[in-house]
Amino acid sequence: MLNKINKANAIAGLIRRSFSFLDGKLFKKLFTTFVRPHLEYAQSVWAPHLQKHINMLENVQIRATKMVDGMGALTYQERLKILDLPTLMYRRARGDMIEVYKHLHVYDKDTTPGRLHLTNRGNRRHGYQLVQYKPKDGVRGIQANSFYFRTTKVWNELPREVVDAKTLNSFKNQLDNAWKDLPSKYDHTSESGS
């Protein structure tokens, strides 16, 4: 993790040194192309569950957004809103939901893992409710943060129109619309990570 953080910081520094003036539009393009992929590498397999690791990753984006000319004095949340750039924590939760959708709607059903199976009983929220297993090491253990344990509750709380989307792009659009006011979108310290 430290290797990826150091690499992302180095690239962000290189971007700042390469431009005498860095506006928000150019910064967003450069950051999302060259820096963010290092911070999101294999995010569906690994996602930090300790607050100190979440902060370490988010600090790269916090520092990088200060590099935009005229934004250094603004708060992190204000910078993100102006740049229309969500927190990395929000992006990880969104990526998780996209991966669950793919497992249920896109991938071959024979390849769907045993941990991701639908409940037998109906639910008013939507018809794709997943069985929610309890992690063997408790709610704060490492297993609780594995993909299948961390995504089930969030998936089960999604609105019907989101999970019933016919295509992946439609799902992404519906999810973005449903989560447009989620506190974690611009505040990584928010209690609701998703």
Are 123 and 129 in contact by the 8 Å Cβ rule? The answer is yes
Distance of CA 132 to the CA centre of its chain: 21
| Each residue's pLDDT tens digit, 111-163 | 777 777 777 776 677 888 888 888 888 777 777 778 888 888 899 999 999 99
Q: What is the rounded average pLDDT for all residues in the chain?
A: 87
Least Cα distance to 193 among 89, 74, 51 occurs for: 89
Report which listed range, 95-109, 114-128, 161-175, is most confident: 161-175
CA dist 70 and 21 (Å) reads 10
Tens of pLDDT, residue by residue over 39-73, are: 888 765 678 878 888 899 999 999 999 999 999 89
Distance of alpha carbon 52 from alpha carbon 57, whole angstroms: 9
Amino acid at 149: F
pLDDT computed for residue 131 by the predictor: 83
Structural contact between residues 109 and 60, judged by C-beta atoms closer than 8 angstroms: no
Handedness of CA 83, 84, 89, 92 (dihedral sign): negative
Give the C-alpha separation, 77 to 80, whole Å. Answer: 5
State residue 189 phi and psi, 5-degree precision: -90, 0
pLDDT at residue 177, rounded to an integer: 95
Contact 24, 40 (CB under 8 A): no
Instruction: Give the pair of three-digit tokens for residue 45.
Output: 């397999």
Closest CA to 5 of 56, 65, 55, 43: 56
- Residue 98 pLDDT greater than 60, yes or no: yes
Ramachandran sector of residue 70 (left: φ over 0; alpha: ψ -120 to 50; beta: rest): left
Q: Give the predicted TM-score (pTM) of the model.
A: 0.86
